[in-house]
Chains A and B, each alone.
Chain A
Amino acid sequence: MTFDLMTFRLISMKFHRIYALVARHLYLYRRSLPRIMEIFYWPFLDLVIWGFITVYLAKFEGQIPGGVTFFIGALILWDILFRSQQGVTISFLEEIWARNLMNLFASPLKPSEFLAATMVMSVFKVLAVSVVMVVCAGLFYSYNIFVIGLWLIPFVLNLVMAGWIIGVLTTALIMRFGQEAEVLAWSMVFLFQPISCVFYPIEVLPGWLQAIAWMNPAAHVFEGMRAVLSTSVSPIVHLAWATGLNLVFLGIVVAVFHWMFEFCREQGLLVRVGE
């Protein structure tokens, strides 16, 4: 797909159709306590566990650069990425579970509009989870993530985008391989966790893995964060890398999604996923 064709597809998206899909999901959540709980369950448990670990490690304060409370911050940021990915993938799974793909794609809806709606949902989920985690971390452990300062904003945006990339990729795979691949919605992101260097600096990785990790936008985000916290060095280089890699990979996975979509239409899989 050429760049021109892609930009054309993007700008020709219709807002009312994206709005329709977002409303459809909000209706769903409004009435479903289990779905709402699911958003908060893991982040909350993670926070409890890492909170206690941090309390314990605080005894060795001074030996860990950036302070042990960095773990809580890292955790919150990791959950932003994770929820962002989930927002995209689960929104697609909901359509499979509801067997709604035929209704959607026999309408004027475009695949790009569909993806855009899942990304909006992902932003909503990220917002909800972040607020809860930041408040809980503040209340329970007196942890204030805003010590990171204004750098937080561009880094969080990059994490959300990194989540979209994994989310769109996972969605394309589930569409292609059907319900058996559903488990990817919860596991795929953890494949990227070791090379995202969430809780440890990249230099602890073996050399070859470091090379791979530097290709991962999330690794640049977390390295950048550590740079801000421990040395107050400007993380602008990390930020630039994260943004650049994110844009490239997002373009690639959106193209992959369109390609899988066409493949599924050819194989008649689009109307069959979920069966």
Chain B
Amino acid sequence: MPTPVLQVQHLVKRFGEFIAVNDISFDIGPGEILGLLGPNGAGKTTTIQMLLGVVTPTSGSIRMFDLDLATNREEILRQVNFCSTYVALPQALTVEENLWVIARLYGLSYIQEQIDDIVKRLEMEEFRYKVTRKLSSGQSTRLGLAKAFLTKPKILFLDEPTASLDPDIAQKIRSFLKEERRSSGLSVLYTSHNMHEMEEMTDRIIFLQRGKIVAEGTAQEIAARFGQVDLEEVFVKLAREK
């Protein structure tokens, strides 16, 4: 078994009395897509924010590439990126300008070539000089992905990347992701409220509920374990349990 690129151990996040993430441990192997599933408020976004170093864990450890995030922030963050439907890039800049700023921020070389390349692969030519504010939601999502892929991350955190997209574009984005994973061995942590997408995309799923891991395995394994036909049924069953 190859060494994991990401290792999370006994991760806890409290906000005052409230426990948003309650002692979770998991890891992600190279080239693996791990799904993070759970009802609203389960702690998925909080977990990703801790992995990105923008929220400090109350306790537990986060290691990536065999380095501790708490002490190697710069080194690690250079090699990871994220995309979330709920975090946009500055609206007043053009697509090109936004990508350029990100490229500088992550210290890329051959910036223009890299931007040209990602713009082409995500079919963004027609709006690349547009102001971000004027993009449609499908176009902004593609920009979000371009931002994430531009820096050639080894681990990618995707927080509901396809929310609010029409099925056609969502499908395109999924194939893009799969292709990237095949060609570059990228590892992904993926959240979504679309169960079919989860089944299609992920190698393995972690089911979070009220900050705790309540199930883990492939979509089929989880469904089988709970005696349900698919993930959606499991989700509804688990979410309604009090």
Which residues from A are CB-within-8-Å of B101?
Answer: 20-21, 23-24, 27
Partner of B97, one of A14, A21, A27, A107: A27
A271-B78 contact given A28-B93, A106-B54, A265-B54, CB 8 Å threshold: no
Report whether A17 and B49 are in contact in the complex, using a CB–CB cutoff of 8 Å. no
Q: Mark A252-275, 1 if CB is under 8 A from B, else 0.
A: 000000000010011110110000
Q: Which residue of B lies closest to A110 (CB)?
A: B74
- The secondary structure that dominates the A interface is helix
For chain A, the bracket of interface size reads: 20 to 34
Least Cβ–Cβ distance between A210 and chain B, in angstroms: 44
A102 in the interface, Cβ–Cβ < 8 Å?
yes
Say whether A23 contacts B104, CB under 8 Å: yes
Complex Cα distance A265/B97, Å? Answer: 28
Inter-chain contact A271/B56, CB cutoff 8 Å? no
**Does B105 sit at the interface, judged by CB under 8 A?**
yes
Is the CB–CB distance between B49 and A104 below 8 Å? no
Determine if A247 is an interface residue (Cβ-Cβ < 8 Å). no
Contact of A103 among B87, B103, B107 (CB under 8 A): B87
Instruction: Take A28-B90, A103-B87, A268-B46 as given contacts and tell me if A20 and B55 are in contact as well, using a CB distance cutoff of 8 Å.
Output: no
Say whether B52 contacts A106, CB under 8 Å. yes
- Do A108 and B89 touch (CB < 8 A)? no
Bound complex: CA A46 to CA B103 (Å) = 41
* Cβ A27 vs Cβ B93 within 8 A: yes
Is B229 close to A, CB under 8 A? no
- Chain B residues, CB < 8 A from A60: none
**Complex Cα–Cα for A267 and B228 (A):** 39
A231 in the interface, Cβ–Cβ < 8 Å?
A: no
A20, B105: Cβ atoms closer than 8 Å:
yes
CB of B86, distance to nearest CB on chain A (Å): 9
Interface check A98, CB cutoff 8 A: yes
Per-residue interface assignment for chain A, residues 22 to 50, with 1 indicating a CB less than 8 Å from any chain B CB and 0 otherwise: 01100110011000000000000000000
Q: Are A267 and B15 in contact (CB under 8 A)?
A: yes
Are the C-beta atoms of A108 and B74 separated by less than 8 Å? yes
> In the complex, what distance in Å separates the CA atom of A87 from the CA atom of B37?
43
Say if the beta carbon of B169 comes within 8 Å of chain A: no
Q: Is the CB of A31 within 8 A of B107?
A: no
Contact of B87 (CB < 8 Å), options: A21, A23, A102, A108 = A102
Contacts of A20 in B (CB 8 A): 101-105
B window 24-71: CB within 8 A of A: 46, 49, 52-56
Contact A108 B77 (CB under 8 A): yes
Q: Complex: how many Å from CA A19 to CA B153? A: 22
Taking CB as reference atom, which chain B residue is nearest A266? B56
CB distance from B144 to the nearest CB of A (A): 10
Interface residues of A in 107-127 (CB under 8 A from B): 107-110
B92 within 8 A of partner (CB)? yes
State the CA gap A105–B77 with chains docked (Å): 9
Contacts of A98 in B (CB 8 A): 90-92
Do A109 and B105 form a contact, CB below 8 Å, given A100-B90, A268-B15?
Answer: yes
Interface set, chain A 2-27, CB cutoff 8 A to B: 14, 16-17, 19-21, 23-24, 27
Query: Given that A107-B106, A108-B74, A109-B105 are known contacts, is A23 also in contact with B55, CB under 8 Å in the complex?
Result: no
Nearest to B75 among chain A residues (CB) is A108
Chain A residues near B89 (CB-CB < 8 A): 100, 103
Q: Does B100 sit at the interface, judged by CB under 8 A?
A: yes
**Interface: B88 (CB within 8 A):** yes
Q: In the complex the two chains form, is B107's CB within 8 Å of A268's CB?
A: no
- Answer whether residue B82 sits at the interface, using C-beta atoms and an 8 A cutoff: yes
10 A-B pairs, CB-CB below 8 angstroms?
Answer: A17-B105, A17-B107, A98-B91, A99-B87, A102-B84, A105-B54, A107-B106, A108-B106, A265-B53, A268-B55
B residues whose Cβ falls under 8 Å from a Cβ of A: 13, 15, 46, 49, 52-56, 73-75, 77-78, 81-82, 84, 87-94, 97, 100-107, 131, 147
Interface residues of A (CB under 8 A from B): 14, 16-17, 19-21, 23-24, 27-28, 31-32, 98-100, 102-110, 262, 265-268, 270-271
